[in-house]
C-alpha cells in the first residue's frame, strides 16, 4: 500500500509561506542585533587602544574578526532573504563582501601590520563602488518593501558609514598613536634588553 502526499490547499500554502517568512525575518532581526553588538565592541576596542588600556588590541581585533564572519554569512544570507530581485540580492552580497575586505584593511591599518597599504588598495575600489551603487539604488527605489528597506539600511548602509568613519579616524589621528602605549610597554620589557630574562622563572627580572 502506498501513500501519496496530500496536496496543499491555497490557504495552507500561504500559511506555510508566511511561517517561513516570519522565521526568516526573526532570524534577520537577531542577526542584526549581534551585528550591532560587534560594531559597539569595535568602538570600545578603538577607544581602549587610543587610551592605552591593556587588551585594547585584542578587543578591537576580536570585534573586527567577528564582524568579518558575520558579513561573510550575510554574503549568502542576502540571496535567501532578498528573493524578490536577483539584482538586489547580488548587490547585497557584493556589498557584504566589500565590507569584509574593508574590515580586514582596517585591522591591518589600526594594528600597523605590514601590507595594510596593499589591502587598502584592493578594498577601497570595491568598497566605494558597492557603496555608491547601494546609495543610488536606495535613492531610486524608495518604495521598497519595508523589511527589505530595513535590511539594506541597517545591515549594509549604516555599516558602510561606520567603516567610513573608522577609516577617516585612522588617517586623521595617526595610527601610530593607537599603539604608543603598547609600544612603550614593549620597550620597557626586560625581555627586550636582557636576553637572560627569557630563562628566568623567578620574576626577579621584572622587579628591576
Residue 14 binned pLDDT confidence (cut-offs 50, 70, 90) = low
Q: Decide if 163 contacts 103 (C-beta within 8 A).
A: yes
Instruction: Quote the cell numbers at residue 89.
Output: 540580492
- What rounded mean pLDDT belongs to the chain? 78
67-81, 104-118, 130-144: the lowest-pLDDT one:
130-144
3-state DSSP helix/strand/coil % of the chain, to nearest 5: 85, 0, 15
pLDDT value at 9 more than 70: no
Q: Who has greater pLDDT, 12 or 44?
A: 44
Q: Which residue has the higher pLDDT, 135 or 65?
A: 65
pLDDT at position 171: 85
Number of CB atoms found within 10 A of residue 192's CB: 10
Largest Cα span, the chain: 88
**pLDDT for residue 73:** 93
Label residue 55 left, alpha or beta by phi (over 0 means left) and psi (-120 to 50 means alpha).
left
pLDDT reported for residue 179: 64
Q: Which of 107, 100, 106, 103 is nearest to 78 (CA)?
A: 100
- DSSP secondary structure of 111-178: HT-TTHHHHHHHHHHHHHHHHHHHHHHHHH--S--HHHHHHHIIIIIHHHHHHHHHHHHHHHTTGGGG
- Report yes or no: 103 and 71 within 8 Å, Cβ to Cβ: yes
Select from 54, 57, 94 the least CA-distant residue to 72. Answer: 94
Q: Which three cell numbers stand for residue 120?
A: 587598502
pLDDT at 203: 43
Host H or E run for residue 205: none
Amino acid at each position: 500500500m502506498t501513500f501519496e502526499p496530500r496536496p496543499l490547499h491555497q490557504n495552507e500554502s500561504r500559511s506555510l509561506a508566511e511561517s517561513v517568512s516570519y522565521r526568516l525575518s526573526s532570524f534577520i532581526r537577531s542577526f542584526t542585533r549581534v551585528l550591532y553588538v560587534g560594531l559597539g565592541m569595535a568602538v570600545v576596542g578603538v577607544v581602549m587602544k587610543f587610551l592605552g588600556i591593556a587588551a585594547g588590541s585584542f578587543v578591537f581585533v576580536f570585534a573586527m574578526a567577528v564582524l568579518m564572519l558575520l558579513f561573510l554569512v550575510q554574503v549568502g544570507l542576502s540571496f535567501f532573504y532578498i528573493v524578490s530581485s536577483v539584482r538586489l540580492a547580488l548587490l547585497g552580497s557584493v556589498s557584504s563582501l566589500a565590507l569584509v575586505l574593508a574590515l580586514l584593511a582596517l585591522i591591518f591599518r589600526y594594528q600597523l601590520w605590514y601590507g595594510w597599504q596593499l589591502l587598502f588598495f584592493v578594498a577601497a575600489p570595491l568598497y566605494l563602488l558597492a557603496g555608491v551603487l547601494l546609495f543610488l539604488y536606495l535613492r531610486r527605489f524608495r518604495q521598497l518593501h519595508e523589511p527589505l528597506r530595513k535590511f539594506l539600511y541597517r545591515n549594509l548602509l549604516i555599516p558602510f558609514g561606520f567603516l567610513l568613519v573608522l577609516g577617516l579616524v585612522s588617517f586623521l589621528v595617526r595610527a601610530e598613536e593607537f599603539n604608543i602605549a603598547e609600544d612603550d610597554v614593549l620597550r620597557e620589557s626586560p625581555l627586550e634588553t636582557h636576553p637572560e630574562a627569557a630563562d628566568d622563572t623567578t620574576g626577579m627580572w621584572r622587579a628591576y
